[in-house]
Amino acid sequence: MATGAEAEDKPYPEILKTIEQQGIRILGEMQVPGGLRAFAAKAGAQPLAIYLTPDNQHLLVGTLVDAYGQDMAEDQLKKMVEQPLSEASWTKLEAATWVRDGNPNAPRVIYTFTDPNRPYCNRFWLAARPWIESGKAQLRHVMVGVIRQDSPAKAAAILQSKSPKDALMENERKHADGGIAPRASVDDHMTRQLERNAALMTELGFGGTPPIVFKGADGTVDTFPGLPSDAQMEVLLGPK
């Protein structure tokens, strides 16, 4: 196994520079056994462990395990990539364009990317009602318009209403019947806000709605990539 000093002395091979040009960011070298060099990286918000073969001509992206199934790079990858990413992600979410659902003083804050037309977003909204109505949690809906042609106009109708909270509730309660009426047009300012929200969703590594970001009991940021199961709801929102 290479020591930290030895790893620092070795120059990065050209193949790493090539993949950086494709949008992969190399954050540093990790120490692993087995004769491979390992690098912590990220693609957008997605952490990656990249392994370089001895000929310096080929890369492997994945998980290196020992005979007991233990990931040889897991702890290093978390330290180098996941925690800084999570803290930055939370800050970006706070600055995004979102609608609060629930008591602003609720102890648990959950961000979810919401498309007004997405059935799974509606199912999450319905499933969260016991926690929201009891004041135990608040949802912050980062509005996007991505799955249907009128999704941006519906998102704009919610965000630009006199009470976005009430408009969101109207959309979710009427979801089975088509939801809120879309705006006749979406101005440039609102279009940019929705595009920034969609870009943030992609940056954080999510490909569809409703991705969910929350802080666990220990204060670390965690995610669900989509609709949580019934068992996962209590992990996310706490006891009913």
Per-residue model confidence as pLDDT tens digits over 206-231: 877 788 999 877 788 888 878 888 88
Q: Does residue 62 carry a pLDDT above 60?
A: yes
Mean pLDDT, residues 129-156? 96
Q: What is the pLDDT of residue 1?
A: 34
What radius of gyration, in Å, describes the C-alpha atoms of the chain? 21
23-27, 130-134, 168-172: least confidently modelled range: 23-27
What are the residues facing 113 on neighbouring strands?
142
Q: Alpha helix (H) ranges present in the chain? A: 4-9, 14-20, 74-77, 83-94, 119-127, 129-133, 151-159, 164-173, 188-203, 230-237
Q: What is the percentage of the chain residues whose pLDDT exceeds 70? A: 93
| pLDDT bracket for residue 7 (50, 70, 90) | very low
User: Bigger pLDDT: 83 or 100?
Assistant: 100
| DSSP for residue 107 | S
DSSP letters spanning 128-193: THHHHHTTSEEEEEEE---SSTTHHHHHHHHHTSS-HHHHHHHHHHTGGGT-SPPPS---HHHHHH
Sign of the torsion angle spanned by Cα atoms 101, 102, 105, 110: negative
Give the integer Cα–Cα distance in Å for 107 and 109: 7
Q: If pLDDT is split at 50, 70 and 90, which confidence band does 59 have?
A: very high
**CA–CA separation, 34 and 37 (whole Å):** 9
Mean per-residue pLDDT for 150-164?
Answer: 97
Q: pLDDT band for 127, please (50, 70, 90 cuts).
A: very high
Examine the pLDDT at 235 and tell me if it is beyond 90: no
By CB atoms closer than 10 A (0-12, 13-18, 19+), residue 157 is buried
Average the pLDDT over 76-83 and give the result.
81
Give me the pLDDT at residue 240, please: 80
More confidently predicted of 162 and 46: 162
Each residue's pLDDT tens digit, 85-121:
678 889 999 999 999 999 999 999 999 999 999 999 9
Q: What pLDDT, on a 0 to 100 scale, did the predictor assign at position 173?
A: 97
* pLDDT of 149 higher than 90: yes
Best CA proximity match to 124, nearest among 230, 44, 46: 230
Percent of the chain whose predicted confidence (pLDDT) is above 90: 59
Mean pLDDT across the chain: 88
Taking residue 176's Cβ as centre, other Cβ atoms within 10 Å add up to 9
